[in-house]
Structure 1
C-alpha cells in the first residue's frame, strides 16, 4: 500500500492542507463535495475583511470561523474519525483541535493572514507574528493568547516537568504536523474498532516514517485484531528487537512465547 503524497513530506513539496485533503479522500468518496463547499464559504466570508489588517483582521476571521461558520470542539470525551478527517469536521462543524487548527489556518490564509502551526503540548496552537509581537490562537474555541499566557499554559500542561523555552514555539514542520494528525486518526479508528481503516492509517504513518518501531508495533496490533496472526508476529518481533527496554516489549515477548508454544488438543 503506497501513498506517494506522503513519501516526501520531509521536503515539503506539497502544501500540508492538500495532503490532509488527500487523506480524507482515501476514506470518503464524497469528500470533495464538503471541501468545495468549505472553500466557497471562506472565500465569501473573508472577502468582507479586505479593509482590515494585522491583529484586527485575524480577530475578525476568528469571529467568523467560530460564530458564523459555527466550528467548535468535539463534544465526545473519546472522539471518532468524523471529528478528525477534515471533510467530516466541515460537515459536522465539530472537531479535535488539530483539525480545527488546520481549517482555521486555511481560512486565515484566504484572508491574507500567514499563521504557523506550533506543536504545543496537549494540542497545537496557531502562531501569528505582527509588529514584532507573537500572538497565539487556541483552536479549541478561538481564544487569542499573548506570550505570557502561553507560558502560563505551558507550565500548567507540563506541570513544570519541562523547562519553558521560546524555541519550542517555532513553526512545526510538515512531518511533525502530519504525524500528529495521523496518530490522532489512528487512535480514533482503533477506538471505534475500525481495524481495516486503522491499518490504512498505520500504512500512511509508515509512508512518512518507514522504520518507526512503534508504528510497526501498532500495525502488529491491528493485524492481530484482523486475525492476521503471522503478520502480527513479524511486527511484534521487530518491535521487541528494536525496543527491548520499552515497557510493552516484555508483554509482547510473553505473548509471542504463548503463540509459539505447542497447542495441546484434548479429545
Structure 2
C-alpha cells in the first residue's frame, strides 16, 4: 500500500536532513500559491525587530520573556478563537497571515522566531498541545504557546495531570525534545483532521499521502484514506484500504464496523452526477 504521491522533503525525516520549519513551508506551498508571500513577511518582521527593538541587548531568560511579549503583543499572534479545528489555523503560512493559530502552529512559529534571535527552544510533545523548553543556567523554562506564558516545572506537572485527568503518571522524561518525525506526524495529523472538519476532502487526501510518505503502510492512515475516498464517492477504491486495515488490525473496534460495510459493498457502486 504505497502512496502514489511523492513528497521528497518528507522521505527522510528520521534522518532530520532538513530543518523542520523548511518542511512546514513546503507543506504550506502545496495548499496555497501565495504562501511564500506570508513566509517572507514573517522574516521581514523578525528582521525589523532586530533593527528597532531592545531584543538584541538581552540574552537568556530575559530575551525569551521579551521575545514572547513581542510575539504575542507587538506582532499580535494569538490562539485560534474557534473551538472546532480549521485548516487556516493549522497551516503556518495562514497563521502568519491571520495572526492567529492552533497552539501547535504558534509553537513552531515562536520556535523559529527564537532561533532567529539565537535562542534554541525545544518542542516538547505534551498532552493537549506541545510546549517549548528553554534550558539556561542549569534550569529549564517552558513556554505555553497559546499565550506566551513562562511555566516552571511544577506548573508543567500540574498541566500534565489536568490534561491526562490522572490517567497517566507524570515523569520528567516526558519533557524531552520531540524528534522531527514525531513533530511532522502530529502536525500533519492535525492538518488532516482540520481538512476533514472543513469538508475539504481532496486536501485531506493529499495530507494523508504526506503522512504515508513518513509512515508507509500505516494501517490507520490507510483506513483514514479509505474514509476520505468514500467521502469523495470513490467507494471502489476505498474498499482496498478498508480491507487492508481489517486484515492488519482485526481487533480494532472500528474493524468490525468496516467488515459489515465491506459486506454491503458487494459490487462497485456507480455514482451518477
Displacement, 1:262? Answer: 10
Displacement, 1:79? Answer: 2.6
Query: Do the aligned partners of 1:108 and 1:114 also contact (CA within 8 Å) in 2?
Result: yes
- Gaps of at least 5 residues in structure 1 are none
Question: What residue number does 2:230 align with?
Answer: 224
Determine if the alignment matches structure 1 residue 108 to structure 2 residue 99: no
User: What are the residue-to-residue correspondences of 1:163-242 with 2, within 5 Å?
Assistant: 163-242=169-248
Query: Do the aligned partners of 2:64 and 2:114 also contact (CA within 8 Å) in 1?
Result: yes
Distance (whole Å) between structure 1 residues aligned to residue 162 and residue 101 of structure 2: 23
TM-score, normalised via structure 1 length:
0.96
Determine if the alignment matches structure 1 residue 80 to structure 2 residue 83: no
Displacement, 1:75? Answer: 0.8
Determine if the alignment matches structure 1 residue 252 to structure 2 residue 252: no
Which of 14, 31, 35 matches 1:31?
Answer: 35
Which of 125, 128, 147 matches 1:141?
Answer: 147
Question: What residue number does 1:59 align with?
Answer: 65
Deviates more, 1:75-84 or 1:201-210: 75-84
Determine if the alignment matches structure 1 residue 131 to structure 2 residue 147: no
Query: Do the aligned partners of 1:46 and 1:110 also contact (CA within 8 Å) in 2?
Result: no
TM-score, normalised via structure 2 length:
0.94
Distance (whole Å) between structure 2 residues aligned to residue 262 and residue 62 of structure 1: 55
- 1:54-86: per-residue Cα shift (whole Å, max 9, x none)? 000000100000000000011111131110111
Question: What residue number does 2:13 align with?
Answer: 9
Displacement, 1:159? Answer: 1.3
- Gaps of at least 5 residues in structure 2 are none
Give the root-mean-square deviation of aligned CA atoms. Answer: 1.2
Instruction: List structure 1 segments (4+ residues) > 2 angstroms apart after TM superposition.
Output: none
Distance (whole Å) between structure 1 residues aligned to residue 90 and residue 207 of structure 2: 12
Displacement, 1:104? Answer: 0.3
Question: What residue number does 2:26 align with?
Answer: 22
